[in-house]
A and B are shown apart, each in its own frame.
Chain A
């Protein structure tokens, strides 16, 4: 603490956990979006991923993590990236696209072919497990 600013590179964080979204987490919480976090960013990350953070706040940051191209929408390409990372590329392309199609069917409220923040939050409301899985224990 104090005046020292410690910068965590995402290689150091990689040693801590083997999360497929670790690069996205680092990018979302870092100040310039390049994956290098200061101590304040690090605290922000643990504050959001703690037990006490409200659901909407977690949903907001989860949306940003899954939005790989940073265009404020989770489009079909983002979904494909997510599913590929979740399964480590072990599903075939047809299966991946089928899953993305079904996800868009289920969650897209205004039928524009991609998920906005409100669609995502609406879907998170229906998943009570989200609070316990989107949680890092210190």
Chain B
């Protein structure tokens, strides 16, 4: 941050020249040098006269001693390590050194910041700038370090400036000030606008009323929230659990549990409109039962069929008529008169629009959280700086247990050693032969992994075709569990195989290993799901012509979810508990297995994809997912506490959170949205069940409604108009896409420009640093010369004149 330094140089007595060309230009180096020399002389004279002692802190002397006795503090062209006391005194009162120390400096810094905020001017006015290329030193006022007297004035000014800000800006400014809480409280009290001054603010008018109203609302809700919080601690049951996890395992493992919490929020967001508009309404108006309802056996919980088929759980239960509007004779073409006081509720429309709206809201929320997460973890023009970041930002202050802090010490030491080793290995370039060998090994491993994925895909495809060819009777519903079993087995075994194969290749950076592992696992899971989607929408629709294929697909997804949960439990049990016991008893190793963060997060993403895929066919699937996530939290936490340790690799938690949210958005949500769009637009719904049974596609329900609105009359004609010209016509879509592309291109250019500006500013900082060193060295030389001349004068006074005359005579 650049502050305009405030010091004036009254040295050059240039008279007011009519031509105005007598100002020293920066190219008159000697002029500038002389003027600065005179400034220094003035300063030292003033210092000597006033006896200005730095009254600040005791550690100052210690600091001086330490910096003097230890290493060199400054690198100058002559490398002068020790400065005289006078130089040090002046250095100590430089603005950049007083910021960290005295309250007065902090207050004046924040005063200038507040003024800038109020004026909203980033740059000073051009007419205040000097006419030379670099502002000459004459323009600035000398602000001497009489900090104690001015502090009260500065504080008063700051309070006045704070009063001029809005409440939000004031709070933001106060929160960022490095002062103690008591002082901030005082400042806030003093800067709150007094109540009686309505007349003075009258000219702001409505805006201040709204501000005050909003302030009081915010304050009231905040107080209410605080009051509720202490009473409703049960609504946040995980705060203490998360704190314990963070305290024992650090931020990296905590990011998995925070991601779980995020997914819970997304599912709740999805479930609420579905419950309100679809499930609740249909449950209040149950349709007539079509046949005998099978008895409830325990197997339904696994297969999702049987008793559950004819319940609110699946698509087939929902009626295709308008509810709450019993028509006596709909066939003779006359209008149905609704009963008095009832609201007709069209179930197909409600189904379509609620699902569409829920997905739209989920999409907006996902994109917003992804962009916010991205904005926090990506910086324009930043170089890596990995050593500095490891030294200053890797110690996790959350960790409280002794053994966990030991582990952190070890981890940081390993990280630093790895960084040094990486740097040293980069110094010794690998030979061409070694490079070729590395590329060959990488290519081979990737081929093997992709081959494994292809093999798994073929297995799933073959098995699904087999399931189609052998139809399952109602008694042997357990056979339906075989396909999900095969899929889950492959999903479990695949990542372990990839891990074994990855041991062959040796990556330079451990972060790259994690990314590559995530990539491979993701490809496997998404391709498997893709094959299953083709199997359902492509093949099953054809084979289940007269039956309710949507119910079947919903049940398949239910089965997949349940199997996935069971296999996750198995994986936790085998991978963590059994492995720990095995390694302790048999292998006699002390180390516990590491908690595999990436693998577990991918499992969560996979489960969420299944939910989004199935929500069209089974509106209660998000509720299942919520129950599953709740159980998973407690099981994973218990297993973590008992069996695992934190990962040894450096784990950039916020970077990885961004990656996870992006993975949730791009392959997962986008894939589910594409699947749903295809199902709604292209596939013929079954004719025996569900809310769309008489239509060609599900989307037709909307078209039918729009056509009915057109016939209804001119009052609602804008809706059909919108539908005809904006939705059915393709031109607006092209226009919107073109606009989006233009906006993206503009943003890219802006970022490029910002990068250039950052480079220029870095250069400028470097130049200013060199200037500072140059000036300090000059200062030091001035003082040295003064000391020498003073010493010389005292010597002359001391030596008797006889010696001098002898010396003179000798010459």
Contact = CB atoms under 8 A, between A and B. Distances in A.
Interface in B363-396: 376-377, 379, 382-389, 391-396
Given A99-B416, A99-B420, A111-B769, A88 B409 contact: yes
Interface in A70-113: 70-73, 75-77, 79, 82-83, 86-88, 90-91, 95, 98-99, 102-103, 106-107, 109-113
Nearest to B378: A128
A72 B772 contact: no
Interface string A15-41: 011111100000000000100000011
A19 B397 contact: yes
A114 B1 CA distance: 17
Nearest to B403: A18
Interface stretch (B72-80, B267-275, B690-698): B72-80
Contacts of A47: 181
A25 to B, nearest CB: 9
B75 A113 contact: yes
A109 B652 contact: no
Interface stretch (B56-64, B327-335, B549-557, B724-732): B56-64
B790 interface: no
B654 interface: yes
B75 A112 contact: yes
A111 B391 contact: no
B96 interface: yes
B67 A127 contact: no
Given A64-B100, A103-B387, A117-B99, A91 B416 contact: yes
Contacts of A136: 397-398
B413 interface: yes
Q: For chain A, which range describes its interface: under 10, 10 to 19, 20 to 34, or 35 or more residues?
A: 35 or more
B400 A16 contact: yes
Contacts of A79: 391
A83 B769 contact: no
A112 B100 contact: no
A21 B770 CA distance: 33
Given A132-B653, A132-B654, A70 B62 contact: yes
A122 B401 CA distance: 32
Given A110-B765, A133-B395, A137-B246, A77 B71 contact: yes
A79 to B, nearest CB: 7
B570 interface: no
B769 A123 contact: no
B299 interface: no
Nearest to B655: A128
A10 interface: no
Interface string B531-564: 0000000000000000000000000000000000
Contacts, number: 198
Contacts of A43: 181
Query: Do most interface residues of chain B lie in helix, strand or loop, or is the interface mixed?
Result: helix
A135 B242 CA distance: 14
B178 interface: yes
A7 interface: no
B528 interface: no
A68 B243 CA distance: 30
Interface in A38-77: 40-41, 43-44, 47, 49, 52-54, 56-57, 60-64, 66-67, 69-73, 75-77
A69 B61 CA distance: 10
A36 to B, nearest CB: 15
Contacts of B501: none
Contacts of B172: 54
A57 B423 contact: no
Contacts of B72: 113
A61 to B, nearest CB: 7
A134 B769 contact: no
B144 interface: no
A59 B75 CA distance: 26
B28 interface: no
Contacts of A102: 387-388, 423
A44 B385 contact: no
Contact of A134 (B397, B409, B420): B397
A126 interface: yes
Contacts of A109: 762, 765-766, 769
Given A129-B251, A136-B398, A69 B409 contact: no
Contact of B66 (A63, A69, A129): A69
A34 to B, nearest CB: 10
Contacts of B181: 40, 43-44, 47
B391 A103 contact: yes
B393 A118 contact: no
Given A86-B409, A124-B392, A125-B379, A75 B423 contact: no
A99 B387 contact: yes
B395 A21 contact: yes
Nearest to B650: A129
Contacts of A56: 176
B392 A66 contact: yes
Interface in B130-179: 172, 175-178
A135 B772 contact: no
A107 B385 contact: yes
A102 B251 CA distance: 26
A77 B177 CA distance: 28
A120 B573 CA distance: 45
B101 interface: yes
B247 interface: yes
B772 A112 contact: yes
B376 A106 contact: no
A18 B769 contact: no
A118 B761 CA distance: 13
Contacts of A86: 391, 394-395, 409, 412-413
A138 to B, nearest CB: 8
Nearest to A108: B769
Contact of B62 (A41, A69, A129): A69
B768 interface: yes
A39 B770 CA distance: 44
Contacts of B393: 124, 127, 129-130, 133-134
A79 B390 CA distance: 12
Nearest to A25: B397
Contacts of A95: 416-417, 420
B759 to A, nearest CB: 12
B172 to A, nearest CB: 8
A77 B70 contact: yes
A123 B243 contact: no
- The interface centre, meaning the residue of A62, A102, A123 with most chain B CB atoms within 10 A of its CB, is A102
A111 B398 CA distance: 34
B100 A19 contact: no
A79 B387 CA distance: 12
- The interface centre, meaning the residue of B1, B70, B393, B762 with most chain A CB atoms within 10 A of its CB, is B393
Contacts of B100: 60, 63-64, 67, 72, 117
A56 B113 CA distance: 14
B413 A91 contact: yes
A41 B180 CA distance: 8
A7 to B, nearest CB: 16
A133 B768 contact: no
Contacts of A18: 400-402, 405
B773 interface: yes
Given A99-B416, A107-B385, 6 more contacts: A20-B405, A40-B182, A52-B175, A75-B71, A107-B388, A128-B652
15 contacts: A17-B400, A18-B401, A33-B59, A40-B182, A60-B178, A70-B63, A71-B63, A71-B66, A82-B392, A86-B391, A99-B416, A109-B762, A114-B73, A126-B389, A132-B251
Interface of B: 1, 57-60, 62-63, 66-67, 70-75, 96-97, 99-101, 172, 175-178, 180-182, 243, 246-247, 251, 376-377, 379, 382-389, 391-402, 405, 409, 412-413, 416-417, 419-420, 423, 652-655, 762, 765-766, 768-770, 772-773
Closest 10 CB pairs of A and B: A110-B769, A71-B63, A128-B654, A72-B100, A87-B413, A102-B387, A128-B377, A107-B388, A126-B382, A106-B385
